[in-house]
């Protein structure tokens, strides 16, 4: 009776283990054509699939850079609008097209009357400040920026996981995508920063 034989793996089990080890993510840079990308069903085992994976990573990196430029544009537009309103309220008129004119009847809502009592002044200041803070959180700019931030962060983590496959071809695809995306859209970021003084 050989009880020790049951504790050893059979040749079939050994072959399955060796095949499983071959699919494990390598922790060093490699040029293998047999790996799993992001999902267990996305097995890259042919040259055609590898090309599609590299092309998808390349395009995703370009979109990442484009989305970052869009976020900059929306942030600067919101900052410019706020700056225009403050400048218009300070100097008695709008400082750029589209700014509200404080001389209008509606624009003076919420401003304090000098003859009001101190208690009324404190209540009005608190009420106006609370409304302004609530409006800033519920503004369309902030909601859009929040959604874009979520998408941008998600894409960033996906690209990070792609690079963490340590596949050289995917790494180069992501790097070239970032480079081309920066080349195409970073110039717009510089122009947006330069035009930030639209209200002066």
Please name which of 141, 163, 191 lies closest in space to residue 64, comparing C-alpha atoms: 163
Confirm if 93 and 85 have CB atoms less than 8 A apart: no
CB 149 within 8 A of CB 10: no
Instruction: Tell me what the pLDDT averaged over the chain comes to.
Output: 73
What's the pLDDT at 141?
A: 77
Rounded to whole angstroms, what are the CA distances from 17 to 3, 13, 109? Answer: 23, 6, 74
Give the integer Cα–Cα distance in Å for 110 and 100. Answer: 15
pLDDT of residue 47: 94
Q: What are the tokens at 56?
A: 């998808």
Mean pLDDT of 10-22: 49
Distances (CA, A) of 93 to 25, 80, 109, 154: 63, 16, 15, 43
Q: Is the pLDDT of residue 15 over 60?
A: no
Q: In this structure, are residues 58 and 176 in contact, taking their beta carbons and an 8 Å threshold?
A: yes
Q: How far is Cα 118 from Cα 191, in angstroms, rounded to an integer? A: 47
pTM for the full model?
0.62
The alpha carbon of residue 190 and the mean position of all alpha carbons in its chain are separated, in whole angstroms, by: 19
DSSP state of 1: -
pLDDT of residue 169: 95
What tens digit of pLDDT does each residue of 121-168 get? 455 555 556 666 666 667 777 888 899 999 999 999 999 999 999 999
pLDDT at site 94: 45
pLDDT (tens digit per residue) in 77-122: 777 666 555 554 444 444 444 444 545 445 444 444 544 455 554 5
Most confident among 13-22, 24-33, 73-82, 120-129 (mean pLDDT): 24-33
């Amino acid at each position: 009776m050989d009880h020790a034989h049951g504790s050893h793996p059979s040749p079939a089990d050994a072959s399955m283990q060796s095949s499983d080890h071959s699919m494990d993510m390598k922790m060093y840079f490699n040029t293998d054509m047999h790996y799993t990308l992001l999902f267990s069903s996305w097995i890259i085992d042919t040259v055609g699939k590898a090309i599609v994976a590299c092309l998808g990573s390349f395009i995703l990196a370009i979109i990442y850079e484009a989305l970052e430029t869009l976020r900059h544009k929306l942030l600067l537009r919101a900052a410019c609008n706020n700056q225009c309103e403050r400048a218009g309220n300070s100097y008695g008129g709008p400082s750029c097209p589209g700014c509200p004119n404080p001389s209008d009847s509606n624009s003076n809502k919420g401003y304090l009357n000098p003859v009001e009592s101190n208690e009324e002044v404190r209540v009005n200041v608190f009420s106006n400040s609370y409304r302004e803070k609530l409006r800033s959180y519920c503004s369309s700019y902030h909601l859009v920026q929040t959604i874009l931030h979520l998408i941008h962060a998600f894409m960033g983590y996906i690209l990070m996981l792609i690079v963490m496959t340590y596949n050289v071809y995917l790494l180069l695809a992501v790097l070239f995508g970032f480079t081309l995306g920066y080349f195409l859209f970073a110039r717009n970021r510089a122009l947006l920063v330069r035009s930030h003084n639209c209200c002066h």
